[in-house]
Amino acid sequence: MRPQEIAGTWDVGEVRAVRPLGGGSINGAFGVVTGTGQFHLRVYRSPDRARVEREHAAIGVAVRAGVPTPAPLLAHTGGTVAELGTGLAALFPVASGATMPRPRLTSAHAAALGTFLAELHERLPLEVPFEVPEVRPSGVERTVERLERIGAAILSLPSPDEVDGWALTRTRQRLAHLRASPLPDHSPTFPFRFLHGDYHEGNVFFQNSRPTALIDWEQTRLAPRAWEVVRCLSLSLKLDPALSGAFLAGYRQRLPLPEEELADGSAFYALAQERNVWTYESVYVDGNPGPRLFIGPPPYVPFHERWGASGLR
């Protein structure tokens, strides 16, 4: 990434340093130091301009609702989406605070994550004036077809490593589950609404244990709010009883969340996860190595079993 390209695209003064940042599972990320301050450069993997513009529209909604989130800078072309090299890009101010690595999350962090999510749900509008995809799990047959394709792609690797072996074993175990005892389709009882869609500790910035900013609006979705609650409990807190209990207490301190609504959200999330092949498809079919960090060792355990064992409600 050439400094002169960045300086010629945004009004940020002299670009003194550009360094790649780790952690991006979908897009390229760079830290940019200029004469006017520090910025975060996002280089989009997808060439779909409408998708990028939807993310920026969602950020605009959040900013107007009072959500602390960095807004993209205007480029010299007049919009917030710029063409940089051969792809699309956006430049953001650096968010205040810092992310907290998952292993270092405490009960105080978990409670703050829960309260911050409740504040987000309280502030964001239920609907927005642009198209947002719904969370809609695919059918069992379609999921089986995609997993079979993933398995074949893994078997074709010339030099598979340990992670590839994990992925193959988990893919085979998941196929066996879907062929023997898949979950029945579940239609949520509670309403769909506009959500951030990718709320987890990696997208929340903290000062001490207080959240100060939320980033990454690319995965905005329409879904029941309890789906997003359960998703964070799973991704960020791994359903740990103490941390998850603190998260739910923090959320409920700000907004009511009845047990039946949480159970409905967990049932819908379980179904969506059973049919979700994004991680393995991205790595082994689409050739994006970023999501490899989400591939864990076997066995594959369906989410509804892990949720039931957690005792959360």
| Fold assignment, 3-93 | Phosphorylase Kinase; domain 1 (3.30.200)
pLDDT in tens, 128-139: 999 999 999 999
Decide: helix, strand or coil at residue 221: strand
CA distances from 89 to 67, 69, 81, 194 (A): 23, 18, 6, 25
Read off the pTM: 0.95
Percent of the chain with pLDDT over 70: 99
Q: Are the C-beta atoms of 70 and 76 separated by less than 8 Å?
A: no
For the chain, the structural domain boundaries read 3-93, 102-136+185-276
C-alpha to C-alpha distance for 44 and 217, rounded to whole angstroms: 13
Q: Which residues pair with 75 in a beta bridge?
A: 10
Say which CATH architecture domain 102-136+185-276 belongs to.
Answer: Alpha-Beta Complex (3.90)
Instruction: Judge whether 3-93 and 102-136+185-276 match in fold.
Output: no
pLDDT in tens, 233-278: 999 999 999 999 999 999 999 999 999 999 999 999 999 999 999 9
Residues 6+ apart with CB under 8 A from 78: none
C-alpha to C-alpha distance for 225 and 207, rounded to whole angstroms: 26
pLDDT in tens, 87-108: 999 999 999 999 999 999 999 9
In this prediction, residue 24 has a pLDDT band, given cuts at 50, 70 and 90, of low
